[in-house]
Amino acid sequence: MPEPNPKHAELRLLLIQVRESEEVARHELDSLLDVTGLPENAVWTWNVVSEGDLKWERVAAADGVIIGGAGVHSATHDDPFTPNLIDSIRRLADEQKPTFGSCFGHQMIARALNGEVITDEEHSEVGCHDIELLEAAAGDRVFGHLWAAGTRTFPALMGHHDRVSTLPEGGIELARSEVCPNQAFRVGDLPMWATQFHAELTPARLLERLERYADIYAPGDDTITKIRGMLRPVDEAASLLGRFLDACVDLER
């Protein structure tokens, strides 16, 4: 776990969750705290599955919003919470609230802003895969430090069968993988970023998550063992959330 960053001491984040069980919702929150070094009282949560429509007063009180993964839910299908979530994402964009989407959150940002998400089993990615940083990342608030350091590829953790096939309106592709374009994008000049990969997970946390969803993402007796063998440190991916928190602080001043 990183040391707490004094710059983030007064920060308040809202984590929008799409989780069927309290166990996995708690795991997602703990994973985010692990990677960011934030204290638990700095992160509010709202689970649209168990708590229903997002209350905008909670969004307005936060310095930034993270939309997390979903496990059993797909951005290509409608759930009872889908219309409100889409409306909320559009309002986040309209009000320029700093926002970061991870996996399902990445896909829902694209869908809400008139992009396209498809199920693509042939190009699904589970485990640890290399991400190629694109030149558009140069100077970006969240990704630019990697480009400036000379990083052009870095490992990241994934677990997806769906992907963004068409970027949202104003979307700028920042990174891709060998089989999956649009691994990361920014929405125009807005403080809104999204990654198909899980910047909030460590390798150990990914294994815990896959054990929970083994029938969906890691079927077969030896799949998790194989994935364990491909894992590597993912410091570059994890650093993106720290840069997002910096942007939340800077933009709220």
Report pLDDT for 206. 92
pLDDT of residue 30: 97
Tell me, what's the pLDDT at 65?
A: 98
Give whole-number Cα distances, 214 to 53, 123, 189, 245, in Å: 29, 18, 38, 31
- Bridge-based pairing of strands 162-166 and 171-177 is unpaired
Output the pLDDT for position 218. Answer: 67
Give me the residues of the chain with pLDDT under 50, please. Answer: none
Any domain includes 150:
yes
Residues 233-252 pLDDT 10s = 999 999 999 999 999 999 87
pTM of the model: 0.95
> What pLDDT score was predicted for residue 216?
65
The pLDDT score that the predictor gives to residue 4 is: 81
Domain residues for the domain of 21 are 6-252
Domain count, the chain: 1
Query: What is residue 37's predicted lDDT score, i.e. its pLDDT?
Result: 96
End-to-end CA distance of the chain: 27
103 within domain boundaries: yes
Q: pLDDT tens for residues 15-29?
A: 999 999 999 999 999
Residue 214: what pLDDT?
Answer: 66
Please check whether residue 1 lies inside any domain of the structure. no
- Is residue 169 situated within a structural domain? yes
Residue 166 lies in a domain: yes
CATH number at residue 207: 3.40.50.880
Q: What is the pLDDT of residue 223?
A: 83
Query: Does 126 fall in a domain?
Result: yes
The percent of residues above 90 in pLDDT, for the chain, comes to 88
